[in-house]
Amino acid sequence: MKTKSTTFKIGFLLIALFLNFGKFYSQTNNGGVGINTSSPNSNSVLDVVSGNNNKGILIPRLTETQRNAIAINKPKDDGLTIYNTTEDCFNYWSFIDDEWKSVCGQLGKSVFTVDCSASKAMGAYVKGKELTNSNYLSISVNVTKVGNYTISGTTTNGYNFYGTGVFLNTGTQTVQVLGQGTPQNIQTDTVDLTANGIDVTCTPPISITVLSPSGVYTMSCGSATVNGVYKVGTALTASNTITLPVNVSALGSYTVTTNTVDGISFSASGTFTATGNQNITLSGTGTPTSTSVKTLTITSDSQGGVSTTCSVNVIVVIPKKTVLHIGYETAYGYSAYTGPSRSLMDSPTNFGTTASSIVKYEGFNHISLGNSPSSAALQTALNNKPDIVIIGYNYTPNTTDAGYIASYLNKKGVVIALTDDTGSAQNLLRGIYSDPTISASYGGGAGSVYALSNNDDPILNGPFGDVRGKNWGEDASTTVNVAGLTSGFVPYSYAQPINSATARTGISGLRNSSLNFIWFGDGGFLSNENANGSQYPSITIEPFVAPGSGGYFPVQKSTYGSAGNGYAAGSMQVQNSILFANMIAWAIKQAEFSGINTQ
């Protein structure tokens, strides 16, 4: 009891002193109280005036932990106010929302840490050149409490960085802190970081090299090389670069950048130390968002009125496709499910994710229906929507089968058909073209050689070689030719062999101009019994060559063809494997961008 009485007296004395020194005046009008004023605002119960206009008012200052320890009487404490020193802002208790609110914003101040190792300065910095939107700090942060943030970066060289915003989610994320100002001196600057008013120490610190004014140079974009592998959803690394040849005529700095396309961009900056021809390496950043070929515009800061823009293409790896094979599963590779033709498809030299792969592609899922599937089995397999179908010797589709294949093609499926049976070819082409007048007949025999057209076409002139005006070779059986087609196709070869004097008419190879369909009239188009893919010694059979010693890369068969029409036996060259590799490259592209599973 004695302790309580003493405490009461001391408290009473403090209140009396506060009233005396603060010049409190109780007003009869509405009970208003004024501090340092004899006329408090009539609408206020407390009117505080700074006598010399040099003081403020302090309310209780609590950490967030201390604030949360208050035992809230919900209906009576509505509007209770404190200053939260943790978030550096006023808070009040809201009865309606049943929580503490911040007047700095609904979310209050965020809590986060900076990952210095993943933070860096972006853009080029040149003496006397004002910063633009391309000059910013890319700051990686780990947010543990959502809310407002302020990040700044300062230098002593005429430019700084400042950014503010709101973190709506916790976790790792990246913030762009824009720069402003103009670098004054050529030097390397250290950026001093502050996050929500707290200094951030990075070891090593974020540094920026300020360059001299730009030199004069021209770019050779036609000789630019895109390096590395690009995959959707995979961030670019140090291996993802563009090597750009330039010719420097006047020394100075350089800044070369690209626009951002589908999430990726490239840039380089530095100072030329010599004139003449040399290379600039542009480093990539970002993550590809699609498999489309990205045409990037390269822009330089070269002075002197030279061209400062050009373009380069970046190819992104295409995801795996499912291939349905129909035909004999033998060592000859008739349907590409076995043999050297399968090895060609599975070789990362040809179709892979390495920087040196001809086609940037993740590979195939292979499925086989064998040589003679039932119509029901075919329908089921096609309804499962394989990306690509390859047909080889000696599958013989009937009219029902042809209808299923035509329906699959009309749904944007991809079919490569290599057949040498007249009935099969007739059924297939009649079904696809909806034309009952199309007919098929037998033509040249084993060792027949057919001239390829000069059309600029992705099969005749593709990533594995330009075979326009060259030849393909018939295997051991007899070529099938079709007649009655008047439109809707790109001819690859006609019925007349170059090594035969017997007159023949029709088409022996074609691509449908509106559907994803290729046909050649030889079921043994891919034939080669050598497991290693090397050239088979016969000059009239097995025209396919893709040596394992070269990564199963397709090459021509150098000695082929039966004698006739002025040609000696084995004096011709045929390009079956190159044609097939180009077909597969085309099929992959069609399946990805215009296929049955294209979204």
Q: What is the mean pLDDT of residues 186-200?
A: 94
Please write the tens of the pLDDT for every residue from 29-50: 456 788 888 788 878 888 888 8
**% of residues, the chain, pLDDT over 90:** 77
Query: Are residues 405 and 269 located together in one domain of the fold?
Result: no
pTM here is 0.68
Domain with 183 in it:
111-211
Strand pairing report for 225-227 and 439-442: unpaired
pLDDT at 21 over 90: no
Residue found under tokens 């043999």: 339
Q: What is the mean pLDDT of residues 277-293?
A: 94
pLDDT at 119 over 50: yes
Instruction: For residue 84, give the nearest of 112, 113, 105 by alpha carbon.
Output: 105
Query: Are residues 70 and 84 located together in one domain of the fold?
Result: yes
Query: Are residues 331 and 309 located together in one domain of the fold?
Result: no
Query: Are residues 159 and 303 located together in one domain of the fold?
Result: no
Q: Please check whether residue 1 lies inside any domain of the structure.
A: no
pLDDT at 399 over 80: yes
Q: Please check whether residue 6 lies inside any domain of the structure.
A: no
Q: Provide the strand spans (E) within 31-124.
A: 33-35, 46-48, 61-62, 81-84, 89-94, 99-102, 111-122
Reported confidence tier of residue 106, pLDDT bands at 50, 70, 90: low
User: According to the model, what pLDDT value does residue 552 have?
Assistant: 98
- Among 59, 75, 102, the domain boundary falls at 102
- Among 314, 331, 350, the domain boundary falls at 314
pLDDT at 25 over 80: no
User: According to the model, what pLDDT value does residue 3 have?
Assistant: 40
Query: Are residues 225 and 158 located together in one domain of the fold?
Result: no
Query: Are residues 206 and 125 located together in one domain of the fold?
Result: yes
**Of the given ranges (189-198, 300-309, 336-345, 490-499), which has the lowest mean pLDDT?**
300-309
Please write the tens of the pLDDT for every residue from 139-157: 999 999 888 899 999 999 9
User: According to the model, what pLDDT value does residue 4 have?
Assistant: 41
Query: Are residues 379 and 348 located together in one domain of the fold?
Result: yes
Query: Are residues 507 and 399 located together in one domain of the fold?
Result: yes
Query: Are residues 169 and 39 located together in one domain of the fold?
Result: no
Q: Please check whether residue 524 lies inside any domain of the structure.
A: yes
Instruction: For residue 580, give the nearest of 421, 442, 473 by alpha carbon.
Output: 473
User: In this structure, what CATH number is given to the domain that contains residue 585?
Assistant: 3.40.50
Please write the tens of the pLDDT for every residue from 369-396: 999 999 999 999 999 999 999 999 999 9
pLDDT at 1 over 60: no
User: In this structure, what CATH number is given to the domain that contains residue 140?
Assistant: 2.60.40
- Among 274, 297, 314, the domain boundary falls at 314
Q: Which residue would you say has higher pLDDT here, 11 or 67?
A: 67
Q: Please check whether residue 599 lies inside any domain of the structure.
A: no
Reported confidence tier of residue 577, pLDDT bands at 50, 70, 90: very high
The mean of the pLDDT values for the chain is 91
pLDDT at 272 over 90: yes
Query: Are residues 303 and 435 located together in one domain of the fold?
Result: no
Query: Are residues 513 and 431 located together in one domain of the fold?
Result: yes
pLDDT at 274 over 50: yes
User: According to the model, what pLDDT value does residue 46 have?
Assistant: 83
Q: Please check whether residue 541 lies inside any domain of the structure.
A: no
Q: Please check whether residue 45 lies inside any domain of the structure.
A: yes
Largest CA distance in the chain: 132
User: According to the model, what pLDDT value does residue 11 have?
Assistant: 43
Query: Are residues 394 and 507 located together in one domain of the fold?
Result: yes
pLDDT at 13 over 70: no
Q: Please check whether residue 351 lies inside any domain of the structure.
A: yes
User: According to the model, what pLDDT value does residue 236 have?
Assistant: 95
Q: What is the mean pLDDT of residues 217-244?
A: 93
pLDDT at 179 over 60: yes
Residues 6+ apart with CB under 8 A from 98: 74
Q: Please check whether residue 460 lies inside any domain of the structure.
A: no
Residue 26, number of CB atoms within 10 A of its CB: 10
How many Cα atoms are found within 13 Å in the side-chain-facing hemisphere of 229?
19
**Of the given ranges (15-24, 171-180, 182-191, 415-424), which has the lowest mean pLDDT?**
15-24
Per the structure, how many domains does the chain have? 4
Dump the DSSP string for 131-160. --TT-EEEEEEEEEE-EEEEEEEE-SSSEE
> Is the CB of residue 415 less than 8 Å from the CB of residue 511?
no
Q: What is the mean pLDDT of residues 279-304?
A: 92
**Of the given ranges (66-75, 92-101, 135-144, 466-475), which has the lowest mean pLDDT?**
92-101
Please write the tens of the pLDDT for every residue from 503-556: 999 999 999 999 999 999 999 999 999 999 999 999 999 999 999 999 999 999
